[in-house]
Chains A and B, each alone.
Chain A
Amino acid sequence: MIYLDHAAATPLLPAVRIAMEPYLSDQFFNPSALYLPAIRVREAYENARQELAMALGAKSAEITLTAGATESIHLAFQPFKNVIISDMEHPAVRAAAAARPNSRIVRRGYITEAIKPDTELISVALADSIFGSIAPIAKIAAAVKTERANRKKSGNNTPIYLHTDASQAPNLINLNVARLGIDLMTISASKIGGPKQVGLLYAKAGVELTPLISGGGQENGLRSGTENVAGVIGFATALKHAQGHAHANQKHYNKLTDEFYKHFHRDFNLLDEYCILATRTGKTLANFITIIAPGIDAERLVYLLETKGVYVATGSACSAKNHEENPTLKAYGYRPEWIFGYLRITLGSTNTLDQMQPAAEAILDAIRTESKRIPADTLKFIQQETKRLAIV
């Protein structure tokens, strides 16, 4: 098996499993109970929160644990009326924004120019899940800071905050909140070797959140429901590991992608230069490789590759089944022929250097097979367009 879809899901890291195990069996106590064994569990849980906070350069009180990134995002958006999101956001951010009374979607590059006096929240993914494109978050944060200062001067009391969905980033980007300059940040455990359905929302002290779920008052009243003790402890281990290895991962994935491209490029001319590698600009996450094979139905590539034990994605995993054009790709101005030919490779913990050649060859092989189905007139059009676009 060559698994190339780490942006969708990752296997538990061995250390994460080990850290979680006691809390799935012996240490099962409800952290809210009064007896000592339960208090030990509470301590372990709070310790994990502390570790998560430290990994981000934040305070414990600024961390709210949630059941995954989607909930974290909705929790971040809940208090606000006027929000702006970039055109490269995950469906969870799009949905959270759409649920607010007044929301706008703006080109990522122009998002700060869209700020209005009543704008309360801006949300930009640290790295999007389609291309792994890294946002200029510090620049956006600086603009938000300037806006805040201007509002103070002009007596406008409306607060303005910057939220980032960092779900794809922890393995490669330093998430120190001060360095990023953000006010709210979403992270998911399942993308970094942690368990599924565990996530967090960082909210800078002073940002007032409103709960989505009420009940027993856990998570400082922001997220009721018995704590996912094992999950959160696993999450802490995973996030520490991700942040601690970010530099090494960068080098490792660069090496793997170099190897992949070496074998992909070698055969590239066989395809009459019609196939596009959409990224490799240095501004994307090192573990993302995007291939666009215009005129080809990438879903068929997935089905062909699965027979060889090579697993890749089309679109973001959540939208792959909706049979609609991916909005981010559409936002990039891609025509349908290009959008449906989008293939995403995301490297991760399961990958090794010697997998890259067979992976590249299998993908080329599948593209070659499927390219024979492209009608002649479509192919001609695509070749002309590709020469014009030539992003390689």
Chain B
Amino acid sequence: MSGGVDSSVSALLLKEQGYHVVGVYMKNWSKSLPGAKCPWAEDLADSKRVATHLGLDFHVFDFEKPYFDRVVTYMIDEYQKGHTPNPDIWCNQEIKFNLFLDTCLAHGADLIATGHYAKTEDGRLYRAKDDKKDQTYFLSRVTAGALQKTLFPLGDLTKSEVKALAKKHGLHVAQKPESMGICFIGEVGIREFLSQYITAEPGDVIDQETNVKIGTHDGAVFYTIGQRHGFHASSNLPYYVVKKDIKNNRIVVSQNLASPTLWYKSIELRDLHWIDDTTDQTGQPTELQARIRHQAPLIPATLTDTTLTFTTEQRGLAQGQTIAFYNDGQCLGSGIIS
């Protein structure tokens, strides 16, 4: 229970369905950053209040160290390499559906449940009824074994239905705004976060067309391919980051949205993960649909070994980014752009 409306309503629904429910708050992060107070104490109080109102036992799991070692460190390493990792996906893979699950099972739980918008059956992962909220992209690196021990009570509900349920049952979190920014830190941008761990130097911004320096940036690691804002280029026309040169701390930008460096028809993947762990023996699917980021549309694509070829060229692909694989309603797994 994070203290938000989704996990609160999940607990409520499970209780109504007759499960013996125990609430757990995972304390993954408690450090405040400049300009952003970490809301963990408020979130903990919110989740404890809901658990109390629902009459649930409640525990706090302190995962700060494993979270830092397994998620934050990975994230910082990736950024330092110039990649764009997704900490939410890593949190699910390493913490929620791994350490948290194991800890719960060790405490005597039969199943775990989270407030994700997703569905699961027999260790398979399916998209949620609410397509706008579907969170299977974030769950695309979870294992079948973990899913067999997992309930997603919100899979057949829309966000507005969830909010209405919270309101109907007098849960005070009904009106709580969605958390923004980085999940575990609160209202803070990635740049402010990374600045704590990475010493970045200002560097040159180069125009791809003219190969001329047109401005400076705060550190190449802070930028993402396809990003539009955030550097001091001396022009009013929008520039897009098309290339990051981490070694020389340079960013290459272009005003041309059609710049070929922004668009890829085909990409190389690494660390392919299949939710169904028999896929390695049965052979991975060749025809599938790909999702290049949370909430992005499903794009038909062909997978040959580790090469993914889209039917149409795609923009905004960065190293380290996760591509999730689907077969219509089912999420099959994912790979990382190499």
Contacts and interface: CB of A to CB of B under 8 A. Distances in A.
Nearest to A321: B41
Interface in B20-60: 41, 44-45, 48-49, 52-53, 55, 57-58
Interface string B52-76: 1101011000000000000000000
Contacts of A373: 57
B41 A303 contact: no
Contacts of A323: 41, 44
Contact of B52 (A300, A321, A322): A300
Interface in A307-324: 307, 321-323
B57 A303 contact: no
Nearest to A322: B41
A52 interface: no
Interface of B: 41, 44-45, 48-49, 52-53, 55, 57-58, 170
A299 interface: yes
A321 B48 CA distance: 12
Closest 7 CB pairs of A and B: A303-B52, A300-B52, A303-B49, A321-B41, A304-B52, A373-B57, A307-B53
B255 to A, nearest CB: 50
Contact of A321 (B45, B49, B53, B58): B45
Contacts of A299: 45, 48, 52
Nearest to B48: A299
A222 B271 CA distance: 66
A322 B41 CA distance: 8
B62 to A, nearest CB: 11
A255 B27 CA distance: 45
B169 to A, nearest CB: 12
B45 A300 contact: no
Nearest to A301: B52
A300 B49 CA distance: 7
Interface in A298-353: 299-300, 303-304, 307, 321-323
The secondary structure that dominates the B interface is helix
Contacts of B55: 369
A276 to B, nearest CB: 22
B41 A300 contact: no
A307 B53 CA distance: 8
Contacts of B45: 299, 321
Contacts of A307: 53, 170
21 contacts: A299-B45, A299-B48, A299-B52, A300-B48, A300-B52, A300-B58, A303-B48, A303-B49, A303-B52, A303-B53, A304-B52, A304-B53, A307-B53, A307-B170, A321-B41, A321-B45, A322-B41, A323-B41, A323-B44, A369-B55, A373-B57
Contacts of B52: 299-300, 303-304
Contacts of A321: 41, 45
B54 to A, nearest CB: 10
A145 B53 CA distance: 54
Nearest to B170: A307
- Most A-side CB within 10 Å, residue of B49, B57, B58, B170: B49
A341 B207 CA distance: 65
Contacts of B49: 303
Contacts of B58: 300
A322 B52 CA distance: 19
A244 B55 CA distance: 46
Given A299-B45, A299-B48, A373-B57, 10 more contacts: A300-B48, A300-B52, A300-B58, A303-B52, A304-B52, A304-B53, A307-B170, A321-B45, A323-B41, A323-B44
A373 B136 CA distance: 36
B15 to A, nearest CB: 15
A4 B44 CA distance: 24
Contacts of B170: 307
B138 to A, nearest CB: 29
A84 B324 CA distance: 63
B90 to A, nearest CB: 27
A322 B44 CA distance: 11
A171 B55 CA distance: 38
Contacts of A303: 48-49, 52-53
A358 B81 CA distance: 64
A300 B58 CA distance: 10
